[in-house]
Structure 1
C-alpha cells in the first residue's frame, strides 16, 4: 500500500513538473486539478499508470512535455492512449545494444505464419513480429543511419528463405540506388526499378493483375483471395525513398491504389522514406498504412507525420533502435544484417549469378503472367 502511494505521488510530481493540470481560480485562491489516476500496476520489470485527463487539459501536452515526464519518471517511458484515457509505462529494463539477424534464431517465432515479419526484440526479449498477410501495409522512416536499410534486408531475406517463388512475387523500387540491388537475380523478384520512369510498366501490369483478381473474387463469390479454390501468390511492392517520385503524380496515385485496395487481392505495400513527407503521406494514404516503423526523427513534427509519436527521442547513438506502431507505440531493438552477410544468405536463391550492370534499369522478366500491355478496362 505504501509503495502504491509513493508511486502515485511520483506521478503527481511528474504532472506538476510537466504542467499537465487544470488551473482553477476562486477569488484569491488558486488550485490545480491533476489527471485522475485510476490504476497503478507495479512489477519488477515495469510500472504502468492508467489515468484520464480532466476536461480542459490538452492531450497533446503528454507528448509535448514528454521530456519533463522523463525527468521525474525515468528515461525509458511509453505513453499510449487518446483523447482522455492514457497510460504511461515506465520500464525498469534496457534494450540490448545490438542484435544480429540469423534466420534460424527467428524461425520458431514465424513457422506458422504465411508471410512472416520478425524484425527485432522488445525490452522484455519478446519478438517484434507479425504476419504481413494480415497487416499488409508498412511505412518505414527515419534519419540517415537509423537502420532502415538493414531492416529492409531482414524483411526481404526472411521472405526469400521462407517462401517459394510460387507463393510470393516481389516488385522492388530502389530510387536511391543503394540497397535493393542485392536482390537482383532472386527468382521471387519480378521487377527491380532504379528510376521513376521505369516504374510505369510493372505498376501498370500490377494494376491489371489487381483487376483480374477482383474479377476472380466476383466470379467465385468470395471476398478475399485466401477463399478462392486455388492459390494465388502474394505480391509485395517495395518503394524505397518514395519522396524521389513525388512529382510523378500518376505513380503516386498507383501506390496509393495498391495500399488502399490491395488487401483482399493479396497485394501488399512497403513504403520507405528518410524524412516523412506530409504531402505524400496524406490522410488517405496514412489511413491505409497499418504498421509504421520509425528510427530517430529530427523533431516531433516529423515523428507526428510518420505516425510514431516519440520517435524524435530515440537515442541517436543506439544503432538499430526503433519504434513501431501497430496498436500502441513500442520501442524495440532491430536485428542487424549487413550487406555481406545478406549476400551470403541470398546466394543459394539466385537464378542470375552476375550483379546488375550499372545501366540496367528494369530486370526484364514476365510479370504476374500478364501480357506486355495493361488490359483495357
Structure 2
C-alpha cells in the first residue's frame, strides 16, 4: 500500500519536471517560426500599400476577418489626430445630417430594416452556399500565383477615386450617393423638384405656342393685305400748260387790283388738283373788307366760274383767292393709299379722303373723328366719298379688326359690298329693318360697356390689349362702323326712333369702338336736327344750292361756292378751320375687283339677317303689350267689349277696338252681336293648350 502511494508521488514530480522542458522547446520552435515568418515577409513586402499581402482570400461568412499583420521593421509612424466627421455618405440619410432621433424616425428605420431583412434573406443564403463551395475549392486546389499588374492598376484606380472625392469635398461640390435608401422627406423634395421642372417646361411650351400664334396672326394680316394693282394706275399730266395759265391769271389779278386802286400785290400761287390759290399781301393801312367786296369784280376779270376768298389764310399775313383750274386733274385713290401718310399710322381706322390745295394727301382717323356727317346736293360726290372711306378701311384693316353695318335705302349704292367678311349683316335696304338695325347697335353698345365694367377698362383698345395678355383672343371685340347712305328716308318713316338711336350712339359709342357715318342730300333742319348736329362733330360738306344749307352743315358759308365732283370742305373734330379737299375717285370697276378679291379671303359671318329684323318689327308692331292681360280679364269677366277694356285699362277707343279685333281673329271671342257683349268661345284650359 505504501509502495503504491510512493510510486504515485514520484510520478507526479516526474510530470512537473517534464512540463517546463516542453515549454522551453515550444519557445524555441516559436522563435524559429517567427524568424522564418520575418524572412518571408521581408521577401514579399510592397511599398506604400498599407503593408497588405497581394493575395487576399475572399471573405466568408463563417470565418472571422483577421487584422493585417504590420511589419515591426517598417518606418510607419503612428499619428494621433483628433476625431473628425467623415464625408462618406450615410446609407440611410445620404449627405444630409442625421438629426436627433425621434420616435417617428425609429419607427421608420425599424420598418425599413424589416423590409430589407425579408428581401435579403434569400441573397444571404445564396452567398453562404457560394462561399462554402469556394472554400472547398481553395482547400483542394493550390493557390494561384498573384497577379501584380491587375492589383497595381486597381490600387491606382482607388487612389484616383479618393483624390477626386477629396477634391470635390474641398471645392464644395455635392457628391451624389449611390444605392441610398431615400426617406419620405427626400422623396417629397424630389417630387417637388420634378413638379417645378415640369411646370417650367409647360410654361416654356405655352410661350412657344403664343409666339407661334402671334407670328401666325401677323403673317396672316400681312398676307391678307390687298394688293394695289386692283386699283387703276394714275396717268401723267402735263405741267407746262398749267404753269402758263397760272402766270397769266396772276398778272390779270394784279392788274385788277391796280385798277381799283388797292395797294396790294400778288405774292404767290399754289396750284392744286382742281383749284389754284393766289396769295395777296395788302400794304399796311389797307382794309381786308375792301378786297373782299371786290369778289364779283375779280371773278369777272379772271373769267372764272366761281371764286372763294379766305381772308386771311390761317397762319399767314396774306389773303387767299381760290380760282378753279382751267383743266381739273382727278385724284386717284391708288396714289393716296401708297403715300406714307396713309401707311405710317397703325390705327386700323385710318381713312384717305383726298388731296388738299397743295396736292398733299389728307388722311383722317375715325377714332379721332369719331362720328361724321356728309352732306351735299345730288351728284356732288357723297356716294364716292363713302366708297373711298370703305375701300380705305378694306386696305387698312383686317376683317377680324373692323366690322361694317351698311344701311342703303337707295338699294344700289352699297350693294357691291354684299358677302364680304367685314359685314355684320347683309346690306340693309328696308327702312323698317334699318330702324331695328340701329336699335341692335344700341344694344351692342350697352353690352360692350358691361364687358368694360367687368374687366375694369375704359375703352376698346385697352380691352383688346388685356384680352391679348390673358390669351383670350376669342373675346376680342372688333371696331364697328355704321354707314347710313341716306338719312332723309329714315327720318320720313320713323323720325323719333331714328333720331333717338342716332343720338344715343353718337353720345356714348365712341369709347366702345362704334363709329357712325351719316350721309344725306337734303341738309335741312328737319333731317339734320339740333341733337344730331351737336353729337356729330366732324362735317364734310360738298356743293350745296344755297348758303342756308351750308350754314346748316358747317355753321358757316362757303359750301355753296364749291365746284362739285368731289370738291369738299372738311371740318375736323376740335379744329375750327375748314380745309378744301379734292376727294379721291374710285370707279365701279375698281370696287368690283376689290370686293371680289375680299370675298375670296374669308366667308361672311352674319350676326343677323334683314328678314329677321323685318319679322321682329312686324311682330312688335302687331302684338299689343296689353293683349295678354286683356285676354285674362275677358276670361274672368266672361264677356268682352271695347268700352269694358277702355274702363279697365284706361286706354283709348281705337286701341281697345284693336284688342277686340285681335281676340276675334284668334277665336277667343265671338263676332259682333248688336249692342250686346261678345261671348267667350274658349276656356282657360283650351287657351293654355293653344299657346303651349
Task: Give TM-score, length-normalised by structure 1.
Answer: 0.72
The answer to whether the 8 Å contact 2:308/2:558 transfers is no
- Tell me how far 1:204 sits from its aligned partner: 2.8
After superposition, the C-alpha distances for 1:116-147 in whole angstroms (9 at most, x for unaligned) are: 11111011011121111221111111111101
What CA deviation, in whole Å up to 9, does each residue of 1:73-121 have, x standing for no partner? 982433589xxxx997415786643122227744522221331111110
2:365 & 2:321 partners in 1: Cα distance? 27
Task: Give the C-alpha shift of residue 329 in structure 1.
Answer: 1.4
* CA–CA separation in structure 1 for the residues paired with 2:337 and 2:605: 35
Greater per-residue helix proportion: 2
Q: 1:185, 1:351 within 8 Å by CA — same for their partners in 2? A: no
Equivalent residues in 2 for 1:1-377 (5 A)?
A: 43-45=268-270, 47=279, 68-69=294-295, 71-72=297-298, 75-78=307-310, 89-91=319-321, 96-102=328-334, 105-111=337-343, 112=345, 113-191=347-425, 192-228=427-463, 229-230=466-467, 231-247=476-492, 248=494, 249-307=496-554, 309-316=557-564, 319-326=565-572, 327=575, 328-350=577-599, 365-366=606-607
Query: Hey, what's the Cα distance between the residues in 1 that align with 2:281 and 2:516?
Result: 36
Q: What SS does the aligned partner of 1:324 have? A: strand
CA distance in 1: counterparts of 2:336 and 2:562, whole angstroms: 29
Shift of 1:70: 6.0
Contact 2:308-2:561 at 8 Å conserved across structures: no
Cα distance change of structure 1 residues 87 and 235 upon mapping to structure 2, 3 Å threshold: farther
Residue 153 of structure 1 and its aligned partner are, at CA, apart by 0.9
Kept in 1, the 8 Å contact 2:373–2:538? The answer is: yes
Contact 2:409 2:429 in 1 (8 A): yes
Residues of 1 paired with 2:336 and 2:298: CA distance? 41
Q: For 2:281 and 2:397, how far apart are their aligned partners in 1? A: 42
- Please say which of residues 107-116 and 180-189 is displaced more in the overlay: 107-116
SS at match of 2:279: strand
Whether the 8 Å CA contact 1:146–1:295 is kept in 2: the answer is yes
- Structure 2 SS opposite 1:365: coil
Deviations 1:14-48 (A, max 9, x none): 9x9xxxxxxxxxxxxxxxxxxxxxxx995554537
Q: 1:88 to 1:175 in 2, by over 3 A?
A: farther
> Relative to total residues, which structure has the larger strand share, 1 or 2?
1
SS at match of 1:208: helix
Question: What is the distance in 2 between the residues matched to 1:87 and 1:226?
Answer: 42
1:199-235, Cα deviation, whole Å (9 max, x unpaired) = 2443232222111111122233332222221342110
Using CA pairs below 8 Å that are at least 6 residues apart, which structure has the higher relative contact order?
1
Structure 1 residue 277, shift from structure 2 partner: 2.4
How far 1:282 moved relative to its partner?
2.1
Aligned CA distance change for structure 1 residues 43 and 252 (closer, same or farther; 3 Å):
same
8 A contact 1:303–1:310 mirrored in 2 = yes
* Cα separation, 2, equivalents of 1:66 and 1:114: 43
Deviation of the 1:180 alpha carbon: 0.5
- The answer (yes or no) to whether the contact 2:354–2:583 under 8 Å persists in 1 is yes
**Could you tell me how far apart the structure 2 residues matched to 1:257 and 1:66 are?**
42
Number of the residue aligned with 1:25:
none
Say which SS state the counterpart of residue 246 (structure 1) adopts.
helix
More off after superposition, 107-116 vs 90-99: 90-99
Instruction: Find the structure with the greater CA-based Rg.
Output: 2
Q: Distance in 2 between matches of 1:133 and 1:227?
A: 14
**Residues 234, 313 of structure 1: alpha-carbon distance in 2 compared, 3 angstrom cutoff:** same
Mapped contact 2:333–2:388 kept (Cα < 8 A) = yes
| 8 Å Cα contact 1:78/1:330 also seen in 2 | no
Equivalent-residue separation in structure 2 for 1:66 and 1:277 (angstroms): 28
Q: CA deviation at 1:364?
A: 9.0
Please, which runs of 5 or more residues in structure 2 have no aligned partner? 1-253, 271-277, 283-288, 468-475, 617-692
Q: Matches of 1:67 and 1:100 in 2, distance apart?
A: 36
